[in-house]
Structure 1
Amino acid sequence: MFKKILIANRGEIACRVAATARRLGVKTVAVYSEADARAKHVQACDEAVLIGGPAPRDSYLQWQRILDAAKASGAEAVHPGYGFLSENEEFAQACAEAGLVFIGPPASAIKAMGLKAESKRLMEAAGVPLVPGYHGAEQDPALLKAEAERIGYPVLIKASAGGGGKGMRAVMKAEDFEAALASCKREAINSFGDDAVLIERYVQKPRHIEIQVFGDTQGDCVYLFERDCSVQRRHQKVLEEAPAPGMTAERRREMGEAAVAAAQAVGYVGAGTVEFIAEQDGRFYFMEMNTRLQVEHPVTEAITGQDLVEWQLRVAAGQPLPLKQDELRMSGHAIEARICAENPEAGFLPATGSLHIARWPQHVSFERGDVRLDAGVGEGDEISPYYDSMVAKLIVWGEDRAQALARLDAALRDTHIVGLQTNVAFLRRCAATKSFSEADLDTGLIERERAALFETPGLPFTITAAAVVAHTLAVEALQQTDDPWSRRDGWRLYGAAIRRFDLELAGTHHEVKLARRHQGGMQLTVEGQQLPFAVNSVGTESHELILGEGLAQKRVMVKVYAQGEKMAVFAEQGSAIVTEIDPIAHAGEGSAEAGRLTAPMPGKMVSFLAQPGDKVTKGQALAVMEAMKMEHTISAPRDGIVAELLFAVGDQVGDGAELLRLEA
């Protein structure tokens, strides 16, 4: 076994490799960019070397710097992780020439599987099933169109050197072929520097099923069963599971043997994934081979009980495969959800920002267990624009698929991320769709389930509003003093005190009222509905809401996290981001054009910070008002000149009273 390895990657895979290496007594060296100086993977390794600027092209793709770091640190081997240089044949060859072990396949295997057309010619020779198509080198547009007509529409045009959905178009009829071909070629040359394409029959309602293979330097190769990765957006995976639902033992053996034949055809060593496109009747065709460890490898680990990173290290060190094919077993069912910083409602556009809150399910394991988390970031970290949008991978295991689904829903429910947009709520809806829950799987699932995924109402506003009120009351309770005149609980000698909360949700303003009744208890008025209300709080984040009374009473557990005026509410029924508007702090904003500042509620003038004739700028503090035992600063809604003060310090002002006038 190696004494020291360098990890030429970042994020959760670098953390995972470091953890496995430590268990085996192997020291690790991290490489990092200027953006990752405080990253989790840097802390996880024994040593760390800075290799360049934030952009990948200035750091993680600079393989000569990585080789220099390996030599300087005394590393014997390089683990490429996935992404970046993991499938770069030049890097693999350079490692070998530098006397370093590349923990992956030989450069020749990467090259053979790197070009889609060439790999399919090899697979055809090895007897691996292929989708009917054209994989030739001749790229004359007239020939390509003729081949498309021979195959029969619909067809799929794919960049030969491509991946990740780039340079790929489905063409449903002949008259659209030429425009689609031109578009694919432009995209391919821009993305890969090669505009060669291949043409294949477009499989209707396809499933994406992949086989995990492993080869050693002694020539042995095994398959560790299959994964179903059909749930995708923009040709990128969202949910992955193992084993594939509905897979028979006979079909599993056929696909596994085909995958092993594909790997052996190129002299494969290490971890790899052979990807197949499968029809609903079970027929399957070779699609491509990923010559690295896959992002979704934890579901295979969960059902086999094997550590695939440990297998990688042992095989790279020259040891034989830990198990033979007939010794491999699988148990239960596992599902992985990729948690990404993105906005599903905006076409899954990536998001950036700070993980202000990052709370994971209780009892989560960071390596093994029924609920596992693979994460390269933590609370307080930044998700930058330089790297992949994936925040973490949540993996669950169950005795069967039903139990795994239940654990996934509970784990996603208890995953609370605040500070930037993520797809957590979308993942939960996706796993709950009729198609996924009933294993009616194909790559068009997300589009087919659009109504359930994008049009389903979220957390009921009544619960959202009650949660915000509960949080506010809990914060105020912590600030309570023994001075009866400083109490903020709205106590009155007689009658009920009514308090207003101005909330904004998805651009819509809502007015919520809280009444404290003289006989005890509280009452909420939300969207015209009056509800008896009580709350049991633990700190300022955890609250049990009690809404209604008698047989109609509901008890709801919520978590509330505040970030300025914004509050993130999480509950069993869903989540919501709501803004609690301080009406005094925003006083005058709605009447900016008229230059008027008005009091949104009764209070007392504490001071004016500007006098008649003073020039003021937008946002400048103009007055201080006391209301509800708190002082609030009122700012100018626009540039102007103070024309007149309408009250004196110490005056009581009523709700809506104009405080001062601004002139242009």
Structure 2
Amino acid sequence: MLTSLLIANRGEIACRIIRTARRLGLRTVAVYSDADTNALHVRSADEAVHIGPSPARESYLVGEKIIAAARATGAEAIHPGYGFLSENADFAQAVLDAGLVWVGPRPDSIRAMGLKDAAKARMIAAGVPVTPGYLGEDQSPTRLQSEADAIGYPILIKAVAGGGGKGMRRVDAPEDFVDALASCQREAASSFGDDRVLLEKYILSPRHIEVQVFGDTHGNIVHLFERDCSLQRRHQKVIEEAPAPGMDPATREAICAAAVRAARAVDYVGAGTIEFIADASSGLSADRIWFMEMNTRLQVEHPVTEEITGVDLVEWQLRVASGEPLPKRQEELSINGHAIEARLYAEDPAKGFLPSTGRLAVFDLDRFRSSARIDTGVERGGEISPFYDPMIAKIIGHAADRTEAAEDVVGELLNCAIWPVQTNAGFLVGLLREEAFLEGRVDTGLIERNIETLTAEPEPAAGILNAAMRVLDRASDNQTFTACDLVDRGGSTAWSIDNGFRLNGPSVLTARLIDQHGNIHTFELGNGVDPAFVQRQDGWAIVPELGFTFAFKPYAIYGSATASAGNGTILAPMPGRIIAVDVAAGDAVTRGQKLLTLEAMKMEHSLTAPFDGTVAELNAVAGAQVQVEALLARIEPKPEE
């Protein structure tokens, strides 16, 4: 067994690896950038090494710095986690050349499966069915457009070196192809340093099915059954589960056997995932499931496989890297119950899922000790940085059946309180309670079809507003109250409310609160208290309810709402880099027209005109870095005729 391990990653996966390594008696070394100086994974490890500035390309993506840190600390092996350098064959080879152990597949296996076009060609040779498409070397826009026309729309453009939903575009009509290709290539070059693409036929009722495989250095390869990762937004997984709903034994046997053949075709060692796309228009069937790609690393969603099999996949990785055979044979692996994972992100669904950054002044998970498993790499007082993926935590439920597993996750999300960073917790609750999901009728388009309902933020109920007013009226900062505490303390006093109260006036008292979005709420004071708990933080009343975290201040204290795009000002919603400007000062624009594109957190975000009008002011310049709320443009409304 290994004796010491350096984790070349950050966040929840780094924390997870550290926990497992420590249980096995390994000494752990963390690496960190400027942004992660006080991060949880840094303080959890036995030793930590600073490797550079906050941008990943200057720290976590610099292999030489990571290898130097391993040598300086005497670490025996390097575990890449997922993301960053985990599928970089050159880095894996450099680790081996440095005399260190690489916790992952052989560099040749990574290369064989790292480029989607070459991987598909290899799968065809191995007898694994693949999706119809174009894998050619000719990358000219003319040839690609011609191939897309021949395949038939809709088609999917995918970066050959892509992953995580980046460098991927769906195209529904020939006239949209050129713009989508340019955007896809631009994002692929930025994220992977390679702008080459392949084309695939887009399946109209697709399900994303993947199989966990594992190989050792003794020639053994097993599968640990399938996962369903169909619930996606912008090709980024949101909910994952195992096993796949509606999967019959014959189809499971066929798809898992194909996955093992795929792994054997590249002499695979370690944890990997074979991803398939299924046409779910009439249920799952082996003759309508095709290979898409292989991820030559651990996946974000690996906990659901761990929960149904009782296997610690990180422990298996460390044992295999130590030269041990797989701990179990295929016939010793079985499925126990059902598991569901929800990805809790720092983002605002009501604002197009824009990432949300800042300090976690309030961060309460598992307040009522639910049965759900929580994997996280942050804690109260920590920072959500604009430099990295905005995932806060993974919430995993495991139960005897699918319905109970979903309720385990929902129970945790309902009671989480996170502020002032915005999260998608309420969105996830709505998704897990969506009728189609509960009935197992899932496909990759389910979220988009229900996007308006799922992203609608509810109006706070009277009980929430009353609870907030009581805390603001009676409490000091950094205090937390349950519903019983608030009832015992009684209601707010007439003297403390700015509502124009007078003797012999109406007996009903009203109050006004303003929330963190600038919305003003006028309500009647009453005695009902609905929320389970309320806390006061930095002068705000924080009230979690149904997965949403409401925050209020007295309106008279806070003042009026701030300006927004509603008055024509276009502000940067987050720090980022402007990569395209589509208008010029003086241009006439229509409501919804794209004005510019901002790249932030590895994704492109289009900013559009709020109404018909004219570009009166334009400060955006392609290539420029901008800070949050920087004024990028101002639109003057079209005069009334």
Q: Match of 2:228, SS?
A: strand
CA 1:57/1:171 → structure 2, altered by over 3 Å: closer, same or farther? closer
1:240-265 deviation per Cα after TM superposition (whole angstroms, max 9, x unaligned)? 11111111111111111111111111
How far residue 489 of structure 1 moved from its aligned partner, in angstroms, is 4.7
Residue deviations 1:367-392, cap 9 Å, x none? xxx41111111011111112210111
Aligned pairs for 1:212-223 (under 5 A) are 212-223=212-223
The aligned length equals: 537
Aligned residue for 2:300, secondary structure, equals: coil
Q: Please give the residue correspondences for 1:272-351 in structure 2 after superposition, counting only pairs within 5 Å.
A: 272-280=272-280, 281-282=283-284, 283-351=288-356
Give the number of the structure whose alpha-carbon radius of gyration is greater.
1
Alignment check: 8 A CA contact 1:259 1:274 kept: yes
Alpha-carbon shift at residue 146 of structure 1 (Å) = 3.6
Q: Output the CA distance in 1 between the equivalents of 2:419 and 2:406.
A: 24
Find the counterpart in structure 1 of residue 392 from structure 2.
391
Q: Which runs of 5+ in 2 are unaligned?
A: 480-490, 496-500, 563-641
* Distance in structure 2 (CA, Å) of the matches to 1:38 and 1:103: 26
Distance across 2 between alignment mates of 1:489 and 1:176: 62
Structure 1 residue 502 and structure 2 residue 522: aligned? no
Tell me if structure 1 keeps the 8 A contact 2:210–2:227: yes
Q: In structure 2, what residue type is equivalent to 1:579?
A: K
User: Would you say the 8 A contact 1:565–1:581 is kept in 2?
Assistant: no
The 8 Å contact of residues 7 and 31 in structure 2, kept in 1 or not, is answered as: yes
**1:511 pairs with 2:511:** no
| 2:555 maps to which of 581, 603, 607 | 581
1:418 paired to 2:419: yes
Residue 436 of structure 1 is matched in structure 2 by: 437
Instruction: State the Cα distance separating 1:70 from its structure 2 match.
Output: 0.9
Provide closer, same or farther for how the CA distance between residues 387 and 575 of structure 1 changes in structure 2, counting only shifts above 3 A: closer
Partner of 1:58: 58
Match of 2:103 in 1: 103
Q: Are residue 561 (structure 1) and residue 562 (structure 2) matched?
A: no
Question: 1:350 & 1:559 partners in 2: Cα distance?
Answer: 27
Change in CA separation of 1:431 and 1:296 when aligned onto 2, cut-off 3 Å: same
| Structural mapping, 1:163-174, within 5 Å | 163-174=163-174
The alpha-carbon distance between structure 1 residues 475 and 495, as it changes in their structure 2 partners (threshold 3 A), is farther
Cα displacement (A) at 1:476: 8.0
Q: Post-superposition shift, 1:192?
A: 3.2
The structural deviation recorded for 1:179 is 4.2
2:170–2:202: 8 Å Cα contact kept in structure 1? yes
Q: State the alpha-carbon separation in 2 of the partners of residues 213 and 156 from structure 1.
A: 26
SS at match of 2:386: coil
Preserved contact between residue 225 and residue 256 of structure 1 (Cα < 8 Å): yes
- Checking the alignment, whether the CA contact within 8 Å between 1:503 and 1:578 is kept in structure 2 is yes
- Give yes or no for the alignment of 1:257 onto 2:250: no
* Paired position in structure 2 for 1:596: none
Which 10-residue stretch deviates more, 315-324 or 404-413?
404-413
* Other structure's SS at 1:68 match: helix
Of all paired residues, the percent bearing the same amino acid is 52
**Counterpart secondary structure, 1:312:** helix
Who is 2:22 aligned against? Answer: 22
- Measure how far apart 1:188 and its partner are: 3.4
Residue type matched to 2:413 in 1? L
One-letter amino acid matched to 2:160: S
Q: CA deviation at 1:140?
A: 4.1
Task: Using CA pairs under 8 Å that are at least 6 residues apart, name the structure with larger relative contact order, 1 or 2.
Answer: 2
Q: Deviations over 1:267-317 (max 9, x none)?
A: 110001111111114211111111110111011101111100000000000
Distance of 1:162 and 1:331 partners within structure 2: 33
Q: Per-residue displacement from partner, 1:486-529 (whole Å, max 9, x unpaired)?
A: x995599x97987653212454433345xxxxxxxxxx3xxxxx
Q: Secondary structure at the residue paired with 2:527?
A: strand
Please report how far the alpha carbon of residue 85 of structure 1 lies from its aligned counterpart in structure 2 after TM superposition.
Answer: 0.9
Structure-2 separation of matches of 1:508 and 1:195: 44
* CA-CA distance at 1:266 after TM superposition: 1.0
Q: Does residue 83 in structure 1 map to residue 102 in structure 2?
A: no
Q: So what's the TM-score if we normalise by structure 1? A: 0.76
Counterpart Cα distance in 2 of 1:571 and 1:255: 41
Distance in 1 of aligned mates of 2:337 and 2:77: 35
Q: Distance in 2 between matches of 1:363 and 1:560?
A: 14
How many Å apart are 1:574 and its aligned residue? 5.4
Aligned to 1:127: 127
For 1:82 and 1:462, how far apart are their aligned partners in 2? 44
Instruction: Specify whether residues 141 and 509 from structure 1 end up closer, same or farther in structure 2 by C-alpha distance, changes over 3 A only.
Output: closer
Secondary structure of the corresponding residue to residue 230 of structure 2: strand
- The answer for the alignment partner of 2:565 in structure 1 is none
- Secondary structure of the residue aligned to 1:185 is helix
Change (3 A) 1:66 1:575: closer
Give the 3-state SS of the residue equivalent to 2:162 in structure 1.
coil
Determine the structure 1 residue equivalent to 2:471: 471
CA distance in 2, matches of 1:87, 1:489: 62
Displacement, 1:69? 1.3
Partner of 1:237 in structure 2? Answer: 237
One-letter code aligned to 2:466: A
Cα distance in 2 between the residues matched to 1:172 and 1:573: 35
- Is the alpha carbon distance of 1:194 and 1:10 closer, same or farther for their aligned partners in structure 2, counting shifts above 3 Å? closer
- Matched residue of 1:167: which SS? strand
Residue type of the alignment partner of 2:553 = T
Query: Structure 1 residue 47: deviation in Å?
Result: 1.2
Give the superposed CA RMSD: 2.6
Matching residue's letter, 1:387: Y
More divergent stretch after superposition (412-421 vs 186-195):
186-195
Equivalent-residue separation in structure 2 for 1:249 and 1:43 (angstroms)? 45
CA deviation after TM superposition for structure 1 residue 183, in Å:
4.1
* In 2, Cα distance between equivalents of 1:195 and 1:384: 27
Specify the alignment match of 2:527 in structure 1.
534
Conserved? CA contact 2:429–2:547, under 8 Å: no
Contact 1:205 1:279 in 2 (8 A): yes
Displacement of 1:182 = 4.1
Pair 359,573 (structure 1): closer, same or farther in 2 beyond 3 Å? closer
Q: Per-residue displacement from partner, 1:135-175 (whole Å, max 9, x unpaired)?
A: 12233444433433432322222222222333322222334
Quote the offset at 1:354 in angstroms: 0.9
Tell whether the 8 Å contact from 2:472 to 2:541 is kept in structure 1 after alignment. Answer: no
Question: What is the deviation of 1:357?
Answer: 1.1
Aligned CA distance change for structure 1 residues 322 and 182 (closer, same or farther; 3 Å): same
Query: Aligned partners of 2:258 and 2:357: how far apart in 1?
Result: 41
